[in-house]
Structure 1
Amino acid sequence: MKKDPVKNDNEANLVEEAQKTLMGAKDWFLEDVALMKAYWHDKMGYTEAWIDANWHLVLDEGHELIDDLDEKEDAALLWLINHANNNPVPLEQCHVAGSLVEPGTYHCMSCGYDNVIETQQALAPCEVCHYGLMSTHHDEETND
């Protein structure tokens, strides 16, 4: 069987064009990577230079900023838990046995018994069922 020279030339041209396309794509990709590396190097260099120049501000104000952020995160988390779960008792009114509490009435979250605390002290487990989670939340029930 005889080979068709035109077909062989076409196939050789296709292979050559594919190789050129792949080489161009590789070069284009490597140029993009180099640009991204240069951008991040410059960006991080600027950030590092700013921190080097202002390290005393970062140290002096960083602790306050972290404390403020922690308070905001805690408040947001409490709000989210209380509202997303439709908690019957807000978490900020819940107290765990062993925590220091003020005088008052602490409602057992298990059996409902009201444990009365007369002085500031560590909260003991429920006197009746020995459950360790209490609440100072008062149900707002209306009597008809």
Structure 2
Amino acid sequence: MKTVKKDSSNHVSDSNLVEEARKTLVGAKDWLLEDMALMNAYWHDKMGYTEAWVDANWHLVMDEGQDLVEELDKKEDAALLWLINHANNNPVPLEECHVVGTEVEPGTYRCMSCGHDNIVEATQPLGSCEICHYGLLSSHDVDKA
């Protein structure tokens, strides 16, 4: 019968690896907890300052808040329009597109489906394309683009 000898050098090296891994994990946990504590303190201070400012100036927020919201909405709309026009490489800027039923000025409106030029002679609600009856037309002058 063969006896199995334990290799003591492997056992020592394995326990050293386990101990090193344990130390590394403890260090990583401590580092994470310290970072979380710093971030928590930062946001607590930042939000505390913001809350204090709002408490002190709540009448300004209430008086001017609606105007600021409307102004911000306009800026967001303009930014979104710019993004859609440029990121998608639209052939026609969206602000020059018109949907059937929209009040339009006299001019030429090109169908976005078949390309037919529909002529509007007076200010009126826009009708669908005379040829294909598509409901999206453009006042964009392709020759200028």
Give the shorter-chain TM-score range: 0.5 to 0.7
Change beyond 3 A, Cα 1:29–1:94:
closer
State yes or no: 1:50 paired with 2:53: yes
What 5-or-longer segments of structure 2 have no aligned partner? 1-14
Which residue of the partner structure matches residue 143 of structure 2? 140
After the TM superposition, which of the residue ranges 120-129 and 35-44 deviates more from structure 2? 35-44
Give the TM-score, by structure 2 length: 0.66
Partner amino acid for 2:48? G
Which residue of the partner structure matches residue 96 of structure 1? 99
Change beyond 3 A, Cα 1:121–1:33:
same
Give the TM-score, by structure 1 length: 0.66
Change beyond 3 A, Cα 1:41–1:114:
same
Q: Which residue, 118, 122, 142 being the options, matches 1:119?
A: 122
Deviation string 1:19-65 (CA, Å, 9 cap, x unpaired) is: 88877776665555445434332322221111111112222333333
What 5-or-longer segments of structure 1 have no aligned partner? 1-11
Using the TM superposition, give the Cα deviation of residue 140 of structure 1 relative to its aligned residue in structure 2, in angstroms. Answer: 1.4
State yes or no: 1:87 paired with 2:87: no
Structure 1 CA distance for aligned equivalents of residues 113 and 49 of structure 2: 57
Which residue of the partner structure matches residue 42 of structure 2? 39
Q: How many residues align?
A: 141
